[in-house]
Amino acid sequence: MKTVQAEPEVASEIANVFAEAAAGAEAYPEPLSTAIRGLVMRADPTGRDRKSNYIAFLLPSWIGMRTGADPALCRDLAVGNVYAMLHFFLLDDMMDGSDAGMESKRALAVGQLLHALFMERYGRYYPPESLLWTYYRTYLAEWATAVSGEGLRRADPRNPRALARKSAPVKLGAVAILLAAGLPEQIADMEEAVELALASLQLADDWADWREDLPAEERSNAFLTLVRRESLALPEDQPLQERLVLQAIYRKGALEQLASIVLGHGERLSGLSDAAPGLIRFQQEIVAGILNDVQATRDTTDKLAGGGGFSYFLSKMQDL
């Protein structure tokens, strides 16, 4: 998939957010502060040629630009979101049996410290009785439901709310800005807008990771659900093999189907009143990346199909 690059001013703000997040590690003794700083630096997408999920860091600013929020508030929430993102990253890695680059006991300890740093940033503005924490508990429950049920049922590519649940805590930064602006009535529309963007991101990630997710994690990959149920109409008990996925991509239009879904998310997002322009641009970048891949697959099909037949074409897919 085409790399999603932040605009220069966006990249500058991301660099500032991560620098402040790294500095926050000094609140803890060694070697824990070094471990936190290392995680922050590894997550910093600044200057790297890779896809970035920078919605997690910039959503407060995107909503804040529309509401006239204090930039200091937006920055603190963004830094808090970095800590929260890394906290959930460590939890996800532990659930998946990975070591997160450190021994398991240390990973769990660092995760708790990251959560405390997140709470401290948000707590500067939102006391325990704030309505914000009711939303936080809701989003935490959505995340927990998603990760605990992963693999038990197939991910549904046409259910954006369900696809967004694993990233539900991201929405908290936007709620925080709307509550600070005295605009709680806009929260429902904001939630839908963010969920459409997060679902688009998840679909793009599932497309990029389908080989890695086949066959062990097939049920968790929404693109592979699309391939199985809509492109190939396979019975549930028939194994989905790489050869079949390639046929779905290059002969059955599976990637075009995925692009259609994500384009639909973009249309819904743009049609929402008060949708933040930054959020719309982020989703449009995801669409552009998938459409670029659609064109690339068409070009590959045309070249290889004209040069020796589809059997030869499939034999070469591993090298592409």
Chain CA centroid to CA 192, Å: 15
Please report the pLDDT score of residue 253 as a whole number: 96
Least confident of 96-100, 146-150, 291-295, 308-312: 308-312
Q: Residue 302: its pLDDT value, please?
A: 80
pLDDT above 50: residue 318: no
Mean pLDDT of 98-113: 84
Mean pLDDT within 235-255: 95
Averaged pLDDT, 27-56? 85
At residue 151 the predicted structure's pLDDT band, cuts being 50, 70 and 90, is confident
Reported as a single tens digit per residue, the pLDDT across 274-289 is 899 999 999 999 999 9
Of the two residues 151 and 99, the one the predictor is more confident about is 151
For residues 132-156, average pLDDT: 95
Does the pLDDT at position 8 exceed 60? no
pTM: 0.91
Q: What is the mean pLDDT of the chain?
A: 90
Please tell me the predicted confidence (pLDDT) of residue 2: 40
What per-residue confidence (pLDDT) applies to 282? 95
- In this predicted structure, what is the pLDDT of residue 1? 46
Segment 45-66 shows an average pLDDT of 81
| 174-195 per-position pLDDT tens digit | 999 999 999 999 999 999 999 9
Q: How confident is the model at residue 309 (pLDDT cuts 50, 70, 90)?
A: low
Confidence of residue 305 (pLDDT cuts 50, 70, 90): low
Report residue 317's pLDDT band, with 50, 70 and 90 as the boundaries.
low
Q: What is the CA radius of gyration of the chain?
A: 21
The residue with greater pLDDT, 20 or 1, is 20
pLDDT score for 319: 46
The whole-number pLDDT of residue 96 equals 77
Segment among 33-37, 196-200, 213-217, 255-259 with least mean pLDDT: 213-217
Closest CA to 36 of 97, 95, 96, 111: 111
CA 16 to chain centre: 21
Judged against a pLDDT cut of 60, whether residue 221 lies above it is answered with yes
Between CA 26 and CA 71 the distance in angstroms is 23
pLDDT of residue 87 exceeding 70: yes
What mean pLDDT is predicted for residues 285-312?
82
For residues 62 and 171, the answer to whether their CB atoms sit within 8 Å is no
pLDDT value of residue 3? 41
Name the band, by pLDDT with cuts 50, 70 and 90, for residue 206.
Answer: very high
Residue 117: what residue type? L
| 3-class DSSP string for the chain | CCCCCCCHHHHHHHHHHHHHHHHHHHHCCCCHHHHHHHHHHHHCCCCCCCCCCCHHHHHHHHHHHHHCCCHHHHHHHHHHHHHHHHHHHHHHHHHCCCCCCCCHHHHHHHHHHHHHHHHHHHHCCCCCCCCHHHHHHHHHHHHHHHHHCECCECCCCCCHHHHHHHHHHHHHHHHHHHHHCCCHHHHHHHHHHHHHHHHHHHHHHHHHCHHHHCCCCHHHCHHHHHHHHHHCCCCCCCCCCHHHHHHHHHCCCHHHHHHHHHHHHHHHHHHCCCCCHHHHHHHHHHHHHHHHHHHHHHHHHHHHHCCCCHHHHHHHHHHC
pLDDT band with cut points at 50, 70 and 90 for residue 46: confident
- Token representation of residue 133: 């924490």
Q: Is 256 a residue whose pLDDT tops 80?
A: yes
The total number of residues written for the chain in this structure: 320
| CB 88, CB 142: distance < 8 Å | no
